[in-house]
Structure 1
């Protein structure tokens, strides 16, 4: 699909230096979010939710170039197959409530950004970071539950490595005028394992790895899950359009 190709190309271009800037220029290390113990990691879908994954089927998703999803399904969860690329929902969304559960591999490999890395892209553009941030230091605006390179989480509410985590997201899409000018930014609220970690923050633009984000007018977009080379697992994904 042309849209998938363009989004993938945009993501790849942001991985390289922009006008002499370096990735480290936008890494925030201090302050480090306080560690708190989460209370739960499961939520049942309400009756008006669209089930994006419950078990045994990824028919709501497509893989790279619109192909079938190559990730492995194991009953009530599925796992990233490293090297196969991002997947995205067939349906596109504007404002929504999203619930998604994920876990990093039980066997610890790597450190920092190399441990249990994935991401949930809202409208295919704005990344809510997935990372094993249990006793694993990295830059604060790149750890689990950060809005990547934009907002550090208020606290670190991670479960232990290999245990299930949940994100509950309230998302309001940006609004643009007829000539493409930004009228209102995207807003997002995130609860990580039931703990408020992003409180109605105004997004600065689509996620970039290098440099500063900048809005460009767009319509509804899919939920995308990132293949960052780590076998992260997902389950119990549902969404409510608002």
Structure 2
């Protein structure tokens, strides 16, 4: 569960002044408000506590924990059995939040972070409801030839304002901020996407995308966060969230 540590500290400062045998005291009350919310880890580095397979069940065996990272072992996909892989999602849903993780992708790899996901039997995949921050090897994957399909993009909707992805094999810091209908995507400390959700302009943009025939896409203002199995090796670490 998210923790709310909002509280106010109050203290008084008493200053004494002396003049001609008399004294005067001035008392000042100062209020200090703490940060209302704190960062909460969504991955403890040791277990899949708080995570599940999208659609039900435990995280599949293709997902592994390695050196305190979540790792999709796609190099051994020929040994996968039914149910071993698939997208994974948080057990908890989130509404207004600041989410962070670090990712790196294998050569020619493709994956994504999908958020505001509504898990239901009605929807077979997280991307049928949730929005995606793209993860990609821009230099090797053919999807990189498509504007809005490159690393850091709001997938198939908005391209990054600039390319800040690091060279293949290096860790990238991704941040997703959703707050009262405003969305920001940050990659490696740079805000690369900023937009307003659920406006007439937003609906028009969705209608011009590959999601136009998905009635549940981007309709939910609260949802889960998914890590995508796109069949390629990908690593995630330092996964945390703060409610806003």
Decide whether aligned partners of structure 1 residues 230 and 91 sit closer, same or farther in structure 2, where only a CA change above 3 A counts.
same
Counterpart for residue 69 of structure 2: 77
Gaps of 5+ in 2: 1-35, 75-83, 118-129
Q: Out of 215, 229, 232, which is 2:231 matched to? A: 229
Deviation readout 1:119-170 (Å, 9 max, x if unpaired): 1111111111111124764212010111111000001111110110011221
> What is aligned with 1:100?
101
Deviation at 1:55, TM superposition (A): 1.0
| In structure 2, C-alpha distance between the alignment counterparts of 1:231 and 1:122, rounded to whole Å | 20
Q: Is 1:118–1:228's contact at 8 Å kept on the other side of the alignment?
A: yes
1:161 aligns with 2:156: no
Relative to structure 1, the CA distance from residue 76 to residue 211 in structure 2 (aligned partners, 3 Å threshold; closer, same or farther) is closer
RMSD: 2.7
For the residue of structure 1 that corresponds to 2:101, the secondary structure is: strand
The residue that corresponds to 1:129 in the other structure is 134
Instruction: Tell me if structure 1 keeps the 8 A contact 2:109–2:234.
Output: yes
Normalised by the size of structure 2, how large is the TM-score?
0.64
1:1-242 to structure 2, matched below 5 A, reads 48-70=38-60, 71-82=63-74, 84-105=85-106, 108=107, 115-124=108-117, 125-134=130-139, 137-172=144-179, 186-202=181-197, 204=202, 210=210, 212=212, 216=216, 217-218=219-220, 220-242=222-244
Q: What's the CA shift for 1:209?
A: 7.1
Larger Rg, first or second structure (1 or 2): 2
Number of equivalences: 177
The answer as to whether partners of 1:187 and 1:200 remain within 8 angstroms in 2 is: yes
Taking the aligned partners of 1:47 and 1:241, their CA distance within structure 2 comes to 6
Q: Secondary structure at the match of 2:224?
A: coil
Shift of 1:215: 6.5
Is contact 1:157-1:193 (8 Å) kept? yes
If the length of structure 1 is used for normalisation, what is the TM-score? 0.65
Asked whether the 8 Å contact 1:134–1:160 carries over to 2, the reply is: no
Distance 1:219 1:156, change over 3 A: closer
